[in-house]
Amino acid sequence: MTILITGGTGALGNELKNLFPNALFPSHNELDIINKKMVSDFFTNNDIDTIIHTAAITSVRLCEENKQLAWDTNLEGTKNLVNTVIDSPRKIKFVYLSTACVFDGHFGMYTENSLPYPENFYSLTKLLGESEVKKIKNHLIVRTNFVARKPWPYPKAFTDRFGTYLFSDKVAEGINDIINENLTGIVHIVGDRKLSMFELAKITTPNIEPMTINDYSGPKLTQDMSLETARWKKYSIN
CA distances in angstroms from 6 to 20, 115, 188, listed in the order given: 13, 27, 20
Whether 143 contacts 100, CB under 8 Å: yes
pTM of the complete model = 0.97
E strands of the chain, at which residues? 3-6, 50-53, 93-97, 139-143, 146-147, 156-158, 162-163, 166-167, 185-188, 195-196, 209-211
Percentage of the chain beyond pLDDT 70 is: 100
The stretch 175-204 carries a mean pLDDT of 98
pLDDT at 163: 98
CB atoms within 10 A of CB 49: 13
Whether 52 contacts 60, CB under 8 Å: no
The stretch 71-84 carries a mean pLDDT of 98
pLDDT digits (tens, 9 = 90+) for 117-146: 999 999 999 999 999 999 999 999 999 999
pLDDT interval class at 81 (50, 70, 90): very high
pLDDT at 216: 97
**Alpha-carbon torsion 135, 140, 142, 143, what sign?**
positive
pLDDT interval class at 58 (50, 70, 90): very high
pLDDT digits (tens, 9 = 90+) for 196-213: 999 999 999 999 999 999
Residue 238 pLDDT more than 90?
Answer: no
Q: What is the rounded CA–CA span in Å between residue 42 and residue 40?
A: 5
pLDDT interval class at 1 (50, 70, 90): confident
Determine the length of the chain: 238
pLDDT at 120: 98
* Beta pairing class for 139-143 and 93-97: parallel
Q: Collect all residues with Cβ–Cβ distance below 8 Å to 172 and sequence separation of at least 6.
A: 12, 15, 16, 18, 19
Quick one: CATH architecture of 3-149+166-190?
3-Layer(aba) Sandwich (3.40)
Q: What is the rounded CA–CA span in Å between residue 56 and residue 77?
A: 9
Percentage of the chain beyond pLDDT 90 is: 99
pLDDT at 32: 98
